[in-house]
Amino acid sequence: MSLLVLNHDTLQNLCTFLHGQDALHLALTCRTLYYAAIPRVPIFVHCRTPPQLCKLWHFTTSNLDQPPRIRSLTIDAKAFEIGNVPFRHRVCADYCEFLGDILETIRKLTHLRIDLSVILAQDFRMGSIIASMTNLVHLELYQFPKEAIDILRQLQSPVESLHIDFRDTYVPLPPAEDFFAAVLELKSLRALSIISPKPWGSFQLLPPVPPHAYLRSLVYSVPFNIPDCLRESCSRLETLVLCSTGTSVSGWLTEVPIPPLRHLVLTLSNLHFLVRLRLLTRVRYIHVYSDQGLTPDSEELSRLAQCLQVVQPLGLHFCASFKSQCSPWPQPVHELLPTLRCLSLGLLPDLDPAAEGKNRCAAFIEWLDNLPVCLSRFSLISLRIHIPLLTRNPCTFETRALSASGEDGEIKLDAAVAFRAAVRALPQRLAESSSTLRYVSLSAAYPTSMENCRDAIYDCHDVPEPAYWWRIGDRREDGGSKVLIPITREEGLRVWSAVLDAGDDAAVADIIRRCSI
């Protein structure tokens, strides 16, 4: 029996059981199924400029009988700029009113991100509208004002993911007691992210807030201190991102019950502290957060190797700063990490500043030539290489200008050409040198510490890093080199996560087999 013999109402009812992506595939099959399935396809909107905000306002208010299917909305701060005047000095009242009209029309939002939350004080409708929404799952507010605390207190939606960012704000931080009391009262919360360049003073919640039962992901980046109210909420965590340092942080870590984690981001000093006190036993993926890279002959790299030998993670990211006279790994680090499957390595050359741009480039190329041999000693499945320096001038896999000026002088055309040739050859050389490597990636940007901490709908609004991914195939039939098959960034990250979550080597082999079909 064909679906086309059913009437329109029956088809629409059947489509309610479909996921958004499946509904889109069905809608693209024929005209009859298009009109039945397209209402199930959500719309994701990202407003970056004032014209886009005005266009969205006209789109949402012109047809009130059929509200748009917008489920995810992101409003950048630049959408409120007036000409070239920075938004923090002047905000267009009309744009604030437009956003109020938009939020009043699209009440079925599941994901909302506002980069300029201080406008909530410009139009009092917005606060009550956001609080009265019933479908919000992810809420993200940048430049958080103290007036927004009332929104958190009055939220009617079962918010599962909350991100609060105080950076770039010119208003004082809200009272810590009021803020954390409102946040931890959100009983449906599963992921909490708090980022601030300014510290809170000492405070204590009275009465004490009970432990949060569902919190699985905690991102906390506030200088010097961590509130005690978060301690008891960490017993069920799967992801912990902790970018704070200080004696109070060390004291907090000694008292918090840290379970086996999937994703851990913290500084090297905090990692060493946890391992030394035997408070950290098992983590699948460790992201070592640092402002400066680790050199091979440094004591920091030796401390990192000792910590990793105890924890034995399946995945690792750290930033390496290599000097021109150093080999990549003077000690057998690979012997300490026999279980490592996924490695994300940021390369930050720390060469002689007195050398000219051409000599600096040549020294880094020489180091790149030694990298595949060093990495071949690991039993890696997936490898990500991040090279932010020099790739700021030419994008190595696109045709662009090859000379650019910098603080260290002009990088000449011949040096840039040689660098691009070395980077282009790097994926093939990595594939040839390793017998276990199946996926390789090159990027001109570092991965964020928030990676793998958000869901797929939110990730569609992020500006993706300029990364290139390949799947490594078998050797050619004539016995030549291995085949590099370009794949999308989404597919590469999906395999990366699947390999980290695999229970044993048999599961990893099954993932590789299925992804190779």
Assigned token pair, 300: 């920091």
Per-residue pLDDT, 456: 41
How many other C-beta atoms are found inside a 10 Å radius of the C-beta of residue 333? 20
The pLDDT tens digits for 485-495 are 999 888 888 88
For residue 62, give Cα distances in angstroms to 35, 59, 65, 101, 428: 21, 6, 9, 11, 54
Cα-based angle 293, 370, 489 (whole degrees, multiple of 5): 65
Q: Which residues of the chain have pLDDT under 50?
A: 89, 330, 351-354, 390-411, 453-461
N-terminal to C-terminal alpha carbon distance within the chain: 31
Give domain limits for the chain. Answer: 1-41, 341-517
The pLDDT tens digits for 382-409 are 999 888 654 443 333 333 333 333 444 4
Q: Give the whole-angstrom CA distance, residue 484 versus residue 437.
A: 12
DSSP character at residue 227: -
Per-residue pLDDT, 392: 40
**Torsion angle defined by CA atoms of residues 133, 137, 140 and 145, in that order, rounded to the nearest 10 degrees:** 40
pTM: 0.77
User: Would you call 82 helix, strand, or coil by DSSP?
Assistant: strand
Half-sphere exposure of 191 (CA within 13 A, CB side): 18
The pLDDT tens digits for 146-199 are 778 888 888 998 888 888 888 776 667 788 888 888 888 888 888 888 888 877
